[in-house]
Amino acid sequence: MPKLSKKTFIDQMNQLLIFFPNWNVDLASKTVAERWYYQFANCSDREFFKMVQTYIQLEAFNPTVAGLRKYFVSDERKRVEQVEWEKTFRKQEQAIEKERRAHV
């Protein structure tokens, strides 16, 4: 399972502090920083980075855990079997559509 590095967490939280200067969160407090970190600890560095950057681009209000999570997108990769199944499914849908058009 991916784990958010503390460096990425700190870098991105600092970005939030820069772009939301009125955000009243005391990340200098170890307790506050740890609680925020553990809300996102299972994110990969890439997932957390994308989530924060998207939040910065699209939001006008100070961040919340729930607000950031709205922009979470999993980087989970599809297995080969899943990709093959999706290709087969699309081919079947196309064949059904072609058959339907032929009978109209």
Predicted local confidence at residue 77, as pLDDT: 64
pLDDT in tens, 6-19: 999 999 999 999 99
Q: How far apart are CA 68 and CA 19, in angstroms?
A: 14
Sequence letter at residue 76: E
Residue pair 3/42 in contact by the 8 Å Cβ criterion? yes
Predicted local confidence at residue 90, as pLDDT: 81
> By percentage, how much of the chain surpasses pLDDT 70?
90
CATH 1.10.8 fits 1-73, yes or no: yes
Q: What stretches in the chain show pLDDT beneath 50?
A: none
Predicted local confidence at residue 68, as pLDDT: 97
Q: How far apart are CA 4 and CA 44, in angstroms?
A: 5
Predicted local confidence at residue 95, as pLDDT: 83
Predicted local confidence at residue 38, as pLDDT: 96
Predicted local confidence at residue 101, as pLDDT: 82
Domain boundaries, the chain: 1-73, 75-104
Predicted local confidence at residue 83, as pLDDT: 66
Residue pair 36/13 in contact by the 8 Å Cβ criterion? yes
Task: Quickly count: other Cβ atoms within 10 Å of residue 67's Cβ.
Answer: 12
Q: What is the DSSP string of 20-67?
A: -TT----TTSHHHHHHHHHHHTTS-HHHHHHHHHHHHHH--S---HHH
